[in-house]
Chain A
Amino acid sequence: MAKREYSFYPGCSSQKGASSSNYLVSVQAMCEELDIQLNEIPDWNCCSASIGYAGGGELPRLALSARNIALSEQHLPGQEIVATCAACWLSTRETQERLAHDKGLFAEANQALAEAGLKLKNETPIKHMAEVLIQDIGYEAIGAKVKKPLAGIKIAGYVGCQTNRPFGIAGESFENPLYLDKLVETLGGDSLPGYEKKVQCCGGALAFSEPEKSQEMIKGIIEAAYDHGADMIVTPCPVCQMNVEVYQDQINQTYGTQFKLPVVYYSTLMAVAFGRSAKDAALNGQVIPAKKLEELAAK
């Protein structure tokens, strides 16, 4: 397989010591196995995610992502931008579309960028890593790399919101996307395509500001996975992963449940299935250990 290169936007939560630093570790292992080279956008900045709107008006918010696209176009010309974080991908793509449809805003964004010595062409495709895997690599090529099938492991594919809406993955439905299920099957695991909460909102950033309201939704996401006999949940989104994993003790206290369900990234599954070590798959980044994956990685 020829090496593929992309311009990479890791985002704040993937940085060292940040909440999804484990995601980045497993993505790197996954990409090594798939001959994907990720070239980090030099000096990228925060996209302001989904709650930037309180402090940032339309143009200041768009300028943030415009700066990242401009930096990519300058330093990594011709390379498609890939984000692993749902919010990073969404904000960057939203900015690209808004500026493509509004010449006035595009001119203003470039006026702001000029202050930093940058210029936006706005011609670079922006992809989520899931699109790279499904569209550029393909299930078949992924399956060919599997050394340790996830045999007998039942995995609920929790797609969440922002990897799914409003853009989503081409060919998938907003209400019942199946790509995580197909990926689980490709890796030799047992998918649970009937999992009802696969696109239920976890509260997103409001898990911080409205914990009770959000945890009520998270409870449903976990409960439905247990109902299907899931051993773990898999997700493509850092906020989904954190929200669904780390509040399980608090939810147990509030609702008298006994949840202890691991929540992993697709890249965690892939790193293990490709035969990489527990460390390379960042299994040490699980607050709730994924024991079945640990056992498989140790084999």
Chain B
Amino acid sequence: MSELNTAMIEKYRTSFLKEVEANVEEGEWVKMCMQCGVCSGSCPLGKHWAHPPQEIFMMIRAGKREEVLSSDSVWMCTSCYNCIVRCPRELPITHIMHGLAHYAKRLGLAPKNQPTAKFAQMMWNNLAKKGRVNELKLGLALYFMNGFGEGVKTALKMKDIGLGMLKTKRMNPMEALGGHAVKDLSGFHKMLKKAQELEDARIGKHGG
């Protein structure tokens, strides 16, 4: 268990809702949910969520901290925004799910080996490095994210798709040798570092 997680448990002992409101992106909206369930019925991957959004909101209010933050569900959001446009209370549900996922990751509670959690982190690392996504490296990293043996199997399975993209010049093997990048890379990195520092300071070493 991470130090930040222990500190947060200590600080918000009696109210997980307060913790979410203070530290999760758009978390202050959670209490507005009226439990109608439209979000759950509108989610394209809803049937795969152990706890659909409506349930997540009630679990937050019921103080089920561990269950919510270690849930696989918040990592199943495809960002289709169907829940947002249909919610009668206009809760920014998509953003709250993203916020919960990010907060869980920050505390070290995100489920291990959740494929989207891993892929999404790879995507961030990829873009943060050069300022632009290197699709080739991201694709290869994805294939090999569960080890070399699995990676070779996946790469073989994806071979025809890769060939199709190569033939149509929608994939470039030369991207392996560097690839696209922003010119002011130093300024870009300094900006991201500062943004991270400011955010860390807000959430605080021991809770915001």
Contacts and interface: CB of A to CB of B under 8 A. Distances in A.
A209 B111 CA distance: 15
Contact of A205 (B120, B167, B174): B120
Interface stretch (A161-169, A182-190, A225-233, A268-276): A161-169
A12 B132 contact: yes
B106 A57 contact: yes
A46 B80 contact: no
Interface string B104-125: 0110001000011111110111
B12 interface: no
B62 interface: no
Interface residues of B, number: 68
B166 to A, nearest CB: 10
Interface in B71-89: 76, 78-82, 84-86
Interface of B: 25, 44-45, 48, 76, 78-82, 84-86, 94, 98-99, 101-102, 105-106, 110, 115-121, 123-125, 127-128, 131-133, 135, 139, 142, 157, 160-161, 164-165, 167-172, 174-175, 180, 182-184, 187-188, 190-196, 198-199, 202
A17 to B, nearest CB: 3
Interface residues of A, number: 67
Given A54-B105, A208-B142, A287-B164, A60 B180 contact: no
B142 A209 contact: yes
Given A43-B183, A45-B188, A18 B142 contact: no
A38 interface: no
Q: Name the prevailing secondary structure of the A interface residues.
A: loop
Contact of A213 (B45, B85, B183, B199): B45
Given A21-B169, A45-B188, A209-B115, A162 B160 contact: no
B195 A53 contact: no
B48 A116 contact: no
B171 A174 contact: no
A258 B174 CA distance: 34
Given A21-B170, A206-B116, A246-B165, A53 B132 contact: no
A166 B84 contact: yes
A12 B135 contact: yes
Contacts of B105: 54
A58 interface: yes
A51 interface: yes
A18 B12 CA distance: 46
Interface stretch (A105-113, A138-146, A147-155, A291-299): A105-113
